[in-house]
Amino acid sequence: MPITDLFRRARWRPVATAAAGLALATALATLAFTATAAAATLYADDFEDGNSAGWTSSGGSWAVATDGSRVLRQSGTSADARARAGSSSWRDYTVTARVKPTAFNGSNRFTAVIARAQSNTSYYYLALRSNHTVELKKLVGGSSTTLATGSVTVTTGAWYTLALSVSGTALRGTINGATALTATDAQFATGGIGVATFYAAASFDDVTVSDSAAPSPSASPPASPTPSSSPSAQPSASPPPVGAIVVAKDGSGHHTTVQAAVDAVPANNTGRVTISIKPGTYRELVTVPANKPFVSFVGTTGNAADVVITYDNASGTPKPDGSGTYGTTGSTSVLLEGNDFTARNLTFSNTFDEAAHDYSAEQAVAVTTRGDRLVFDNVRILGNQDTLQPSSPNAATVSRAYYRNCYIEGDVDFIFGRGTAVFDRCEIRSLNRGSTSNNGYVTAASTTITNPYGYLFTRCTLTTASDVAAQSVHLGRPWHPSGDVNAIAQVLFRDSVLGAHIKDAPWTDMSGFSWRDARFFEYHNTGPGSTVTADRPQLPDADAPQFTAQAYLAGGDGWNPVS
């Protein structure tokens, strides 16, 4: 979604169908719906203006609230509820929304998106149920009929992307782009859209309506990509584009390993090369070398959990040749050195088992980035200590990376290094180390003193496992590699939701270096872990425009993957 003001995403009003649109790609490759070149956006609302103007509600308790970003929240669980918007004349379209069920009052309750609404009691809807099913249904005068059903794991507190398409008499529903339900029905020919709950509470965000009910398949990338290409607006299924290198464990692609696909990319290539990766766990070490720019890793299902690239080395793991141990960076499962790399809809992981080994050095890195202008979209990065290392080729070089709608977990210093990194609408999850007072540190930045921009967390949500004690996790500490006095950490958390696990004094010293000498700031955070104290430097309002995602990422070439 275009962003006109980085920290207040603009509400889109209904627009003419001739306007340039948002291409949706939620269809599976096997679905036989007619594709169009692009989809015009009829309507979109992300609620960042703080109100629900244009929506009409019935039942429940509706309000715009904060859940990482602004959302439309329905908090009642004692009856059915719905909110509707749009035009009664809309005919063929796709309505897409991010949906997070937060409570179910019973075993067969649901939250849903609505299409072709005639009234509060007559419409088509795609329902995500508490009994781990997804259903395509119609409601006529308050009486429901199930048109199609499927199985899906439903977890309260998790975000799902629901899309409901109506084209003539053809109906299609998808969840996270991967679970498709289809049906044919002629009950309703036109109508508006909506969201609904049935004895359930839920949050809704990023509601969009495209006038093309059949999304385009993924197009071939341009021959000469530009570094300012934006990541996709919604996680969606990504069938391999023409010319893609396909990886499949079952042998149905060009290669059975990811590294073999990388090896097949020509050195010093000048055009985007997409490596489409089919579902599976790929236990291998992967390196994208510096002489292979413009490489994309794309999971084909749209569900990041379906494609996992993982290994289990740690810093203290002995090398097979007896030459010593791997060291922290050497433990990396995935090393990304090529510029203009992108990753979408997959998982990077380091599965080193701390309990099964007695190493003095248990750092185990999932991803190290050294390339510049990297984009991660709907990517999970999993580990414990030192999960993600945004870095660069050397201390004199700044490398930038943008993480959008990602999930990153760990415990000690699990985002660390000298790179410039922006985390936008990500979930940053702290794991349990078994301590009631110190369960770790989110960041350990080592930003070079001449670089004004280290890590920015904007519109993120800091969460934790349920058994992690309150007031037990630090936002960060300053890392000075080998005592480097010119490594002055720069970290800003702004417009984010901080859980109760974050300490009231969230910054701490490291290896004899005071956190007060680092560049640590917060700005307009909310949540139980955001209480402002004397030990929490706040960014002045006058300085806030200088510390946006665009400012962090612009560099000398004006790179802007967020607009």
CB contact at 8 A, 82 and 202: no
DSSP 8-state secondary structure symbol assigned to residue 376: E
Positive or negative CA dihedral for 563, 179, 44, 73? negative
Burial 110-142 (b: 16+ CB within 10 A, else e): bbbbbbbbbebebbbbbbbbbeebbbbbbbeee
Q: Which of 395, 400, 284, 398 is nearest to 342 (CA)?
A: 400
What is the C-alpha separation between 292 and 232, in angstroms, rounded?
22
CB contact at 8 A, 298 and 346: yes
Q: Which structure tokens are listed for 405?
A: 């709608």
Residues 6+ apart with CB under 8 A from 331: 313, 314, 315, 317, 350, 352, 363, 364, 365, 386
CB contact at 8 A, 174 and 162: yes
Residues classed as catalytic: 413
Burial 512-526 (b: 16+ CB within 10 A, else e): ebebeebbbbbbebe
41-45 vs 200-210, strand pairing mode: antiparallel
DSSP 8-state secondary structure symbol assigned to residue 543: G
Query: CB atoms < 10 A from the CB of 373, how many?
Result: 23
149: left (phi over 0), alpha (psi -120 to 50) or beta: beta
Counting Cα atoms < 13 Å in the Cβ hemisphere of 225 gives 24
Q: Torsion over CA of 399, 403, 406 and 412, rounded to 10 degrees?
A: 40
Question: Of how many residues is the chain composed?
Answer: 563
CB contact at 8 A, 563 and 375: no
Q: How far is CA 217 from CA 169, 171, 240, 242, 263, in A?
A: 21, 18, 9, 10, 27
Q: Is 268 exposed, middle or buried (0-12, 13-18, 19+ CB in 10 A)?
A: exposed
Q: Which of helix, strand or coil describes residue 551?
A: helix
Q: Is 153 exposed, middle or buried (0-12, 13-18, 19+ CB in 10 A)?
A: exposed
One-letter amino acid at 282 equals Y
DSSP code per residue over 175-238: ETTTEEEEEE--S-S--EEEEEEESEEEEEEEEEEES-SSPPPPPPPPSS--TTPPPPSS----
